[in-house]
Amino acid sequence: MTDFNAEPLQADTHAQGHLTQVRGACPHDCPDTCALITTVDKGRAIKVQGNPAHKATDGVLCTKVSRYAERTYHPDRLLTPLKRSGPKGSGQFEPVSWDDALDGIAYRLQAIASQNPEAVVPYSYAGTMGHVQGEGMAARFFHRLGASLLDRTICASAGAEALTQTLGNKVGMKVEFFAESQLILIWGSNSVGSNLHFWRLAQEAKRQGAKLVCIDPRKTETADKCQVHLALRPGTDAALALALMHELIVHDWLDHDYIAQHTSGWAALRERALQWPPERAAQVCGLPVAQITDLARDWGTTQPASIRLNYGMQRVRGGGNAVRAIACLPALTGAWRHRAGGLLLSSSGHFPVRRAALQRPDLLGARQPRTINMSTIGDDLLRPASPVFGPTLQALVVYNSNPVAVAPESGKVVQGFAREDLFTVVLEHFQTDTADYADYILPATTQLEHWDIHTSYSHTDILLNQPAIAPVGQARTNTDIFRALAARMGFNEPCFADDDLTLCRTAIGNEADFAQLLEHGFVSLPVPDAPFAQGGFPTASGRCEFFSTRLAAMGQDGLPDHVANYEVPIATDRYPLAMISPPARNFLNSTFVNVTSLRAVEVEPLLEIHADDALARGIASGDVVKVFNDRGEYHCKAKVSDRARPGVVHGLGIWWRKFGLNGTNVNQLTSQHLTDMGRAPVFYDCAVQVARAG
């Protein structure tokens, strides 16, 4: 027998001798934010499926999360608090009680904070996208302490800033209407692997006669299934977008009325775009001229036409400019007039999350702590105290993140984490590369074991995650851990007593009907079908801002332009190959790498390399190769493949270092340079050389 559990679960619900099904939400850093149904048998989760009642999920999950029960009961799951018993990074720990762990942590944090609370730094990202187990109680704790603030830039902040400077917020067309589009540019996204539910919509459009165009340096699984693939060089997307504009202008494929009514800065953008004839862009992008002119014709003459942009293409020096240039294209042709036209990078700006009520920055009082950029944690851990930087980092509390594996230039990150004087606490499900360097590891609950509220960066529904099972072992929720630490540190403000359901309600306030969330698991936001058909962009001017006065006021170019990569490889250089590091299909950032069945599919760390580049180096598929530059050396297996264009290699990630062939991963090679906007890392702006190892 099955039934849908619509009520808050009590402990004894789990012990009943029948199957229950509990509604939840996928917590992972994926645009789709699927609605889950977990089937529970006598307190044990036996199956995790997509909720068929949630239209965006349509009952379908990706392979990764279909294995969520396997991940939850994985034999390596952390079940008790652990205290370091060997040298830093040795991975040697001994079990301790929760009281001993929390007392020990509170004692050390208090001692450090009594000298200068800014020496304590939280480090977290999207290990869960949940607002409550993310920055709910954690942010309250660190604000009350007066710890350094964290600039959470590691994934999306260049694109987010660029979109905000152009459209006014992280907003766009509604994802469901891609199914009605006649032309879809899938730009910087391997949707088959990392935006599965959008891909289903694109397939539907294709069945209705739409043309799908993939723009990506890599011949991805998505490119395989599109009619057209433009394999441009990494970091040249803005040049392509400007050349498309050039063609729209010279052929007059423009919606003059939409431009006049709903945009600003057109005269200046027109002048800029006319400097980018297709021949110039073809040189920069490494594309045939005809591919650019054909694409411009398609974009200029097809309605409805849409762009699904994703974050891969903004991980280069000019990532912000590239997003701005691309985000101008729909306004030029009036694509926004149609509900199946426009652009979507992120829908997250549509959600009215009450972050201040949830995270309580008011607990800082008059204090204004410094901000540490998570993308330069390697350098910052090694930086001495100074009047400009402030105190040396003395304590790191890591939750929902695995920086030793995912932060750039990991040689320096490891060196920093290995400091014997650094006090490190890691809240985790597994003993990750980062947990190896902890002084204390605290076992955290998974999505099946706690409450949370989720929003999406693709669809426009709010989801509630209900706990399906009791915490496994002695795992505790992130919120509970920070509550317990707050109590030990004497933080007695009433907000530290809020339970998780209260935090869920706080996150959304009156913006969604909580009873409906409890009953159905999701609530749709009232976003219009064609939100910018009549303009009304959430910019100060209400227009799509081709020219950004705010960027100009910051001393930056007010118009989008092509900004060359920091590391543009030249054939005669020491490092003549460009490396990008897209996700391996069965991993999601560094999550799932330890799930045996998924790792078995990926087998081992791979470098895709074009046959010409392989031949020139005497490399065959299956050879162990070293990929290297001045920052380090990474060993993996070569795969000679037409997925790579000549001059570009793909280090598929993100493997845990401890599963790597020489104890490293691709981030041994990436740099700590930052993007033009949003202070983000440039993972795909990385020059390397490759040779056979040994």
What does the binding site for ligand SF4 look like in residue numbers (CB under 6 A)?
26, 28, 30, 32-34, 61-62, 64-65, 196, 588
CA–CA distance, 168 with 165 (Å, rounded to integer)? 6
Q: How far apart are CA 62 and CA 18, in angstroms?
A: 27
SS3 state of residue 36 = strand
Smaller CB separation from ligand SF4, 28 or 211: 28
Give the nearest distance from C-beta 27 to ligand SF4 in angstroms. 8
In the bound state with ligand SF4, the residue whose beta carbon lies nearer, of 196 and 405, is 196
Cβ at position 199, least distance to ligand SF4 in Å: 10
* Residues 90 and 436 sit within 8 Å (Cβ to Cβ): yes
Our CB check for ligand SF4 shows the closer of 68 and 684 to be 68
Q: Give me the least distance between CB of 455 and ligand SF4, in Å please.
A: 12
From 421, 405, 435, 406, select the one nearest 91 (Cα to Cα).
435
Nearer to ligand SF4, 199 or 575 (CB): 199
Cβ-count burial 437-467 (b if 16+ within 10 Å, e if not) = bbbbbbbbbbbbbbbbbbbbbbbbbbbbbbb
Angle 150-424-631 from CA coordinates, rounded to 5°? 70
User: Which residue, 33 or 434, has its beta carbon nearer to ligand SF4?
Assistant: 33
331: its two tokens: 């306004």
- Residue with smaller CB distance to ligand SF4, 28 or 635: 28
We find the least distance from the C-beta atom of residue 693 to ligand SF4, in angstroms, to be 33
Q: Which is nearer to ligand SF4, 14 or 67 (CB)?
A: 67
Q: Write down the least CB distance from residue 67 to ligand SF4, Å.
A: 10
Q: How far apart are CA 531 and CA 147, in angstroms?
A: 40
Given its phi and psi angles, is residue 412 left (phi above 0), alpha (psi -120 to 50 degrees) or beta? Answer: alpha
Cβ distance 31 to 198 under 8 Å?
yes
Closer to ligand SF4 by Cβ: residue 74 or 617: 74
CB 290 within 8 A of CB 282: no
- DSSP-derived letter for residue 519 is H
Of the candidates 120, 178, 618, which has an alpha carbon nearest to the alpha carbon of residue 397? 120
Is 115 in contact with 129 (CB distance < 8 Å)? Answer: no
Residue 90 burial (C-beta neighbours within 10 Å; 0-12, 13-18, 19+): exposed
For the CB of residue 661, give the shortest distance to ligand SF4 in the complex, in Å.
27
Distance between terminal CA atoms of the chain? 59
Tokens of 283: 């040189």
- Minimal distance in Å, beta carbon 195 to ligand SF4? 8
In whole angstroms, the minimum distance from the beta carbon of 300 to ligand SF4 comes to 33
Q: Are 643 and 584 in contact (CB under 8 A)?
A: no
Which lies closer to ligand SF4 via its Cβ, residue 59 or residue 87? 59
Smallest separation (angstroms) from ligand SF4 to the CB of 490: 39
Closest CA to 469 of 1, 3, 16: 16
| Nearest distance, CB of residue 538 and ligand SF4, angstroms | 26
Least separation in angstroms between residue 164's CB and ligand SF4 is 24
64/262 with CB nearer ligand SF4: 64
Q: How far is the CB of 450 from ligand SF4 (least distance, A)?
A: 16
Instruction: Kindly tell me which of 57 and 424 has the beta carbon lying closer to ligand SF4.
Output: 57
| Rounded to 5°, angle at Cα 170 from 174 and 49 | 55
Please, which residue, 30 or 150, has the CB nearer to ligand SF4? 30
Whole-angstrom distance, CA of residue 640 vs CA of residue 367: 55
Q: How far is the CB of 61 from ligand SF4 (least distance, A)?
A: 4
Closer of 196 and 523 to ligand SF4 (Cβ): 196
Nearest residue to 265 via CA among 332, 341, 212, 170 = 332
Taking the C-alpha atoms of residue 237 and residue 245, their distance in angstroms, rounded to an integer, is 13
Could you tell me the smallest distance in angstroms from the CB atom of residue 165 to ligand SF4? 28
Contact 199, 192 (CB under 8 A): yes
- 22 vs 102 by CB, closer to ligand SF4: 22
Q: Which helix (H) or strand (E) segment is 329 a member of?
A: helix 319-333
Q: Which tokens sit at 361? A: 């920055």
Token look-up 């509390």 returns: 397
Residue-by-residue DSSP string for 596-634 = HHHHHHH-S-EEEE-HHHHHHTT--TT-EEEEEETTEEE
